[in-house]
Chain A
Amino acid sequence: MSVDFLIETAKKIQVVINDNSSEIEKLDQEIGDGDHIFNVQRGIKLVIELEPSIKDLIMSKALNQIAMKVLSGIGGSSGALFGTLFMTMAKGNAIDEGVDYKKAIEIFAEGVEAVKQRGKANVGEKTMMDVLIPVSNCLKKGVEDDKDLKEILKEAIEVAEKGMFSTKDLLATKGRASFLGERAKGHIDPGARSSQLMIKTVCESVINS
Chain B
Amino acid sequence: MKKFMNSADDFLKESLQGFGAAHQDIVCCHYDPNFITRVTPTKEGKVALISGGGSGHEPMHGGLVGHGMLDAACPGFVFSSPTPDQMLAAAEKVDSGAGVLFIVKNYSGDVMNFQMAAEMMQGPNESVLTNDDVAVEDSSFTTGRRGVAATVVVEKIVGSLAEHGGSLHECKALGDKVNKNSGSMGVAFSSCTVPAAGKPNFDIGDDEMEFGVGIHGEPGRRRDKVKSSQEITNELLEAINEDLKPEANEEILLFVNGMGGTPLTELYLIYDNAKNMLDKKNIKISRSLVGNYCTSLEMQGASITLTKLDEELVKHWDSSVHTAAMRWGV
Q: A25-B197, A33-B201, A179-B218 given as contacts; is B112 within 8 A of A75 (CB)?
A: no
Tell me which residues from 40 to 91 in chain A have a Cβ below 8 Å from any Cβ of chain B: 68, 71-81, 83-84
Binding-face segment, A149-157, A170-178, A194-202: A170-178
* Docked-complex contact B201 and A29, CB < 8 angstroms: yes
Interface residues contributed by chain B, number (CB under 8 Å): 38
A80 proximity list for chain B (CB < 8 A): 81, 83-84, 109, 112-113, 115-116
Does B202 interact with chain A (Cβ within 8 Å)?
yes
Establish whether residues B141 and A75, one from each chain, have CB atoms under 8 Å apart when the complex forms: no
In the complex, what's the smallest C-beta–C-beta distance from A40 to chain B, in angstroms? 12
**Residue picked from B78, B142, B143, B197, most chain A C-beta under 10 Å:** B143
Among the listed B83, B136, B220, which residue makes an inter-chain contact with A75, where contact means beta carbons less than 8 Å apart?
B83
Residue of B nearest to A176 (CB): B218
Residues of A within 8 A of B54 (CB): 75-76
In this complex, the member of B54, B80, B135, B214 whose beta carbon has the largest number of chain A beta carbons within 10 angstroms is B80
Question: Do B202 and A29 touch across chains, with their CB atoms under 8 A apart?
Answer: yes
> Whole-angstrom distance between the alpha carbons of A104 and B220 in the complex?
43
Task: Chain B residues near A75: list those with CB within 8 A.
Answer: 54, 76-77, 80-83, 109, 113
B196 at the interface (CB under 8 A from A): yes
Tell me which residues from 53 to 81 in chain B have a Cβ below 8 Å from any Cβ of chain A. Answer: 54, 76-81
Complex Cα–Cα for A77 and B108 (A): 6
CB within 8 Å for A38 and B81 given contacts A75-B109, A76-B76: no
Smallest Cβ distance from A76 to chain B, in angstroms?
Answer: 4
Query: CA A39 – CA B83 in complex, angstroms?
Result: 12
> Which residue of chain A is the closest to B203 with respect to CB atoms?
A29
A119 contact set on B, CB distance < 8 A: 108, 112
- Interface residue tally on A, bucketed by range: 20 to 34
What residues of chain B lie closer than 8 Å to A183, measured between beta carbons? 219
**B150: CB under 8 A from chain A?**
no
Kindly provide the distance from the CB of B88 to the nearest chain A CB, expressed in whole angstroms: 10
CA distance A56 to B82 in the complex (A): 30
Measured in the bound complex, the distance between the Cα atoms of B216 and A123 in whole Å is: 26
A77: chain B residues at CB < 8 Å are: 81, 108-109, 112
- Complexed CA–CA distance, A183 and B77 (Å): 27
Closest Cβ–Cβ distance, residue A174 to chain B (whole Å): 6
Minimal beta-carbon separation of B86 from chain A (angstroms): 8
Take A34-B201, A175-B143 as given contacts and tell me if A71 and B85 are in contact as well, using a CB distance cutoff of 8 Å.
yes
A68 surroundings in chain B (CB, below 8 A): 85
In the complex, B146 has a CB within 8 A of chain A: yes
Chain B: minimal CB distance from A179 (Å): 5
Beyond A34-B197, A35-B197, A76-B81, whether A174 also contacts B143 by CB under 8 A is: yes
Which residues of B have CB within 8 Å of A71?
83-85, 116
Chain A CB within 10 A, most for which of B109, B137, B218: B109
Give chain B residues whose Cβ lies under 8 Å from the Cβ of A74. Answer: 80, 83
Residues of A contacting B78 in the complex (Cβ-Cβ under 8 angstroms): 35
Query: Per-residue 0/1 for B220-259: is the Cβ within 8 Å of any A Cβ (1 yes, 0 no)?
Result: 1000000000000000000000000000000000000000
B194 at the A/B interface (Cβ < 8 Å)? yes
CA distance A180 to B83 in the complex (A): 26
Asked if residues B84 and A38 are in contact (CB atoms below 8 Å), the reply is: no
A118 at interface, CB cutoff 8 A: yes
**Which residues of chain A come closer than 8 Å to B81, judged between CB atoms?**
75-77, 79-80
Across the interface, which residues of A come within 8 angstroms of B194, CB to CB?
Answer: 33-35
Is B147 an interface position by the 8 A CB rule?
A: no
Q: Which residue of the partner chain B has the closest CB to A118?
A: B112
CA distance A35 to B199 in the complex (A): 11
CB distance from A147 to the nearest CB of B (A): 35
Q: Are A38 and B196 in contact (CB under 8 A)?
A: yes
Q: Is the CB of A72 within 8 A of B83?
A: yes
Instruction: Find the residue from B86, B141, B202 having the highest chain A CB count within 10 A.
Output: B141
Instruction: Please pick, from B82, B108, B135, B137, the residue contacting A176 in the complex, using a CB distance under 8 A.
Output: B108
Chain A positions within 8 Å of B116 at CB level: 71, 80, 83-84, 118
Q: Top 9 nearest A-B pairs by Cβ distance?
A: A80-B112, A77-B109, A76-B109, A76-B80, A75-B80, A72-B85, A33-B216, A72-B83, A178-B143
9 contacts between A and B (CB under 8 A): A35-B194, A72-B84, A76-B80, A76-B109, A79-B83, A79-B109, A80-B83, A80-B113, A179-B219
Given contacts A33-B79, A72-B33, A72-B85, 5 further A-B contacts (CB under 8 A): A72-B86, A76-B80, A178-B142, A178-B143, A180-B219
A residues sitting closer than 8 Å to B (CB atoms) are 25, 29, 33-35, 38-39, 68, 71-81, 83-84, 118-119, 171, 173-176, 178-181, 183
